Amino acid sequence: MSTEWLDTVVDDRRDATGRIVVLDLVSPGDAELPEFAAGAHVDVLVDGAAGLVRQYSLCGPPHDRSRYRLAVLAETASRGGSLAMHRLRKGDRLRISPPRNRFGVAAEARRHLLLAGGIGVTPLLAMAHALDAGSAEYEFHYCARSRAEAAFLDELEHHPRVRLHVDDGPAEQRFDPAAIGRPDPGTAIYVCGPAGFMDFVISSARTAGWPAEAIHKERFAPVDDVAAHTVGGAFTVRLASTGAEYEVAGGESVLDVLLAHDVDAPYSCQQGICGECVVRVLAGEPDHRDDVLTDRERADGLFTTCSSRALSPILELDL
Ligand code: FES
């Protein structure tokens, strides 16, 4: 977990829909905030007393360092985070981490296909701002249940690159996976939204022949129950830097064990979706259970300590 928190103040708060609030955060002294690239998110210390931390994408223009814009959906099954965010008012203080990013715009692509479902519009809106400032070709499909539930219509509805699809609208405007098209080595696909939407888009793209590496995704929730991440037998983790060995029992994560032994290991979501806890495996066979690493990253030896386990008796980590 980041120990470097930034103090911010809510400078503006507006209801974008009945369930989505948009918050503009500024530095208390009006200093510039740290720069960020499109697709970045911040950890938010929602309730300092309770230590409740949630991740929210930055959806404002990346070139504007005077403010960070967040959009927060009031989750019906909220664990307290989104509802506390909705209670914020102008002038309230909020501590956040510096921006982190595992969902950036692929620099090598010459064309970008942005596919957002619901509140998944937030990181892709920042990407659209960034792409508008450049010359790359892009297309942005924004799917929502209804117009009433679609945020940022004022910015997006008449944008020439954006196609709005609402479930309760005429059939001809609904999202057609044919819009994903045939695989093109110069095109990058970005998808963000609820699990059902993401699974549909990703499986449509894969069925059409798109390679996994071309599909960039950011999930707001793990595919499986987080409890499933720690199911399994015991194994040992060894730290390459010190040679220290710790047993990871069934029901606990590698990260749990590292933190219990005061190892300074990075982490954030603890759900296998943010990538903040990624370390390299130097020896042993990992049992990957995260929803963030690509096949290539796994083949390169990357590993999430919060959600993955070992198939071998010992796993040596580059820590
Ligand atoms: S802490 Fe987010 S993936 Fe592990």
User: Ligand 1 atom closest to Cα of 269?
Assistant: 2
Q: Choose the weakest-confidence range: 32-41, 61-70, 150-159, 290-299.
A: 290-299
Cα(221)–Cα(157) distance, integer angstroms: 27
Equal fold, 6-96 vs 111-219: no
Q: Which atom of ligand 1 is nearest to the CA of 267?
A: 1
Q: What is the 3-state secondary structure (H, E, C) of 284-307?
A: CCEECCCCCCCHHHHHCCEEECCC
Q: Which CATH superfamily is domain 6-96 in?
A: Translation factors (2.40.30.10)
Greatest Cα-to-Cα distance within the chain, rounded to the nearest angstrom: 63
Q: Which atom of ligand 1 is nearest to the CA of 270?
A: 1
- More confidently predicted of 229 and 145: 145
CA 206 to centroid of ligand 1, rounded, Å: 25
For the stretch 295-312, pLDDT in tens is 889 999 999 999 999 999
Which tokens belong to 145? 């249940």
List, for residues 177-194, the tens digit of each pLDDT value: 999 999 999 999 999 999
CATH architecture of the domain with range 226-317: Roll (3.10)
Q: What is the predicted pLDDT for the residue at 246?
A: 97
Cα dist. 90→9, 122, 214, 218 in Å?
8, 21, 40, 29
Residue whose structure tokens are 């309760």? 168
Half-sphere exposure of 219 (CA within 13 A, CB side): 21
What pLDDT score does 3 carry?
59
- Ligand 1 binding pocket includes 253 (Cβ within 6 Å): no
- Whether the CA torsion 86, 216, 97, 37 is positive or negative: it is negative
Answer yes or no: is the C-beta of 8 below 6 A from any ligand 1 atom. Answer: no
73-127: pLDDT as tens digits: 998 766 678 889 999 999 999 999 999 998 999 999 999 999 999 999 999 999 9
Rounded Cα gap, residues 102 and 268, in angstroms: 13
Ligand 1 centroid to Cα of residue 275, in Å, is: 5
The CATH code belonging to domain 111-219 is: 3.40.50.80
Across residues 264-291, what is the average pLDDT? 92
> Is the beta carbon of 308 within 6 A of some atom in ligand 1?
no
Q: How far apart are CA 241 and CA 237, in angstroms?
A: 12
| Residue whose CB lies within 8 A of the most ligand 1 atoms, among 304, 308, 319, for a mutation test | 304
Domains in the chain: boundaries: 6-96, 111-219, 226-317
